[in-house]
Amino acid sequence: MRDVAVIGVGLTKFGELWDVSFRELMMEAGARAIENSGIDGKQIGAMYVGNMSSGQFIRQEHISSIVADHAGLVPIPSTRVEGACASGGLALRQAIIDVGSGLHDIVVAAGIEKMTDVLAGVATGALATAADQEWEVFVGATFPGLYALMARRHMYEFGTTEEQMAAVAVKNHRNACFNTCAQYQMEITVDDVMKSPPVTLPLKLLDCSPITDGAACAILASAEKARKLTDTPVLVAGTGQASDAISLHSRTSLTSLQATIEAARKAYKMAGVKPDDIDLAEVHDCFTIAEIMAIEDLEFCKKGEGGKVTEQGETAIGGRIPVNTSGGLKGKGHPVGATGIAQVVEIVQQLRGEAGKRQVDGAEIGLAHNVGGSGGTAVVHVLRRGD
């Protein structure tokens, strides 16, 4: 594969956007990314769109055609990619492989989910289709329930506390205050989390990421082309993807996601870096316990110490390894198909030094970690500032 770089990124406001349609959301993110890249739309060779479940959320499949048409990009190839909440990360990866193969020089990776146009119960039910319907959901498991099982086991094995989980939410909300695209630009305290209504204990309302509308877009080019188009290319140093059993009961561990470990191993190897080399990361904090497990599985800390290092501020902006500077899924919001691309938007802005009050000083190498379901899919990307 030839080298690939990100040349432009765009993000919409994340939130309950009842006055904006699916099409409008996607066009807004796309137009921002094209403007940000400085290219002309005519230069785009192909498009990949990450989306988990437009069929259930807005009763529309075949969105790849709608997006290409509304973006004025017909007749370029346009393909939807789905892997539950990892759909965005997978779309990015397909775009990287496309450019890497030499098939096209400039390719769009987009992600979108319009989730709030249905009743909350319908949205939660649709999200549960990321878990095993026959062996988990039909017998009563909810999606928060699956992560609650992981949290309980993590508490049992490693002594992780509910306060440590709350510290994840507190940090991510604090970061979100500096992100104008974030759904929740408000600080919360550990006490707020502890007193929030129970969802499935030990997870409480403020341990859970919200239901969100949003879209994100990144434009990729061959590294060679990128150097001609921009002074601030961000190189894709590594990509790793892995699968695991969709059901928790089929896994060897409840406190690690093997898919994360395997995807990270591949991405680190391809990039030629170690966990210590990463300056900042966006990780998949769909629930607070998920961030704790992620920073362990990505080897930013020892197994079992994710809660402790979070509580000690090591993952805060200014800490040893800032995590979810954007606000993460918890603070920024989690439009499931868009999340994997939105993570990369943040990493690119950080590596370019354009993250404003969220800026991590001297950031050179960033990592994005996107999970599908309760860990049936994981995808990890390592990005590097291209000088």
Residues that bind a copy of itself (CB under 8 A): 1, 21, 46, 52-53, 55-56, 58-62, 64-66, 68-69, 73-84, 90, 93-94, 97-98, 100-103, 126, 129-134, 241-247, 250, 258-259, 262, 372-373, 376-377
Q: Which residues contact 279 (CB under 8 A, 6 or more apart)?
A: 321, 322, 360, 362, 363, 364, 365, 366
Q: How far is the CB of 242 from a copy of itself (least distance, A)?
A: 4
Whether 249 sits among the annotated catalytic residues: the reply is: no
Is-contact 368 380, C-beta < 8 A?
A: yes
Instruction: Give the residue from 237, 253, 248 showing the smallest Cα distance to 157.
Output: 253
Q: How far is the CB of 203 from a copy of itself (least distance, A)?
A: 21
Q: How far is the CB of 365 from a copy of itself (least distance, A)?
A: 22
CB closer to a copy of itself, 18 vs 387: 18
Whether 85 sits among the annotated catalytic residues: the reply is: yes
Indicate which residue of 85, 181, 286, 301 is catalytic.
85
DSSP 28-61: HHHHHHHHHHT--GGG--EEEEE-S-HHHHTS--
Is-contact 260 266, C-beta < 8 A?
A: no
Question: What separation in angstroms does the CA of 90 have from each of 85, 206, 249, 350?
Answer: 10, 28, 25, 21
Other beta carbons less than 10 A from residue 42's beta carbon:
9
Cis, peptide link before residue 275, omega less than 30° from 0: no
CB closer to a copy of itself, 90 vs 199: 90
CB closer to a copy of itself, 108 vs 176: 108
Q: How far is the CB of 255 from a copy of itself (least distance, A)?
A: 17
CB closer to a copy of itself, 134 vs 387: 134
Q: How far is the CB of 33 from a copy of itself (least distance, A)?
A: 18
CB closer to a copy of itself, 4 vs 316: 4
Indicate which residue of 104, 154, 284, 334 is catalytic.
334
| Interatomic CA distance for residues 158 and 154, integer angstroms | 6
Q: Catalytic residue positions? A: 85, 334
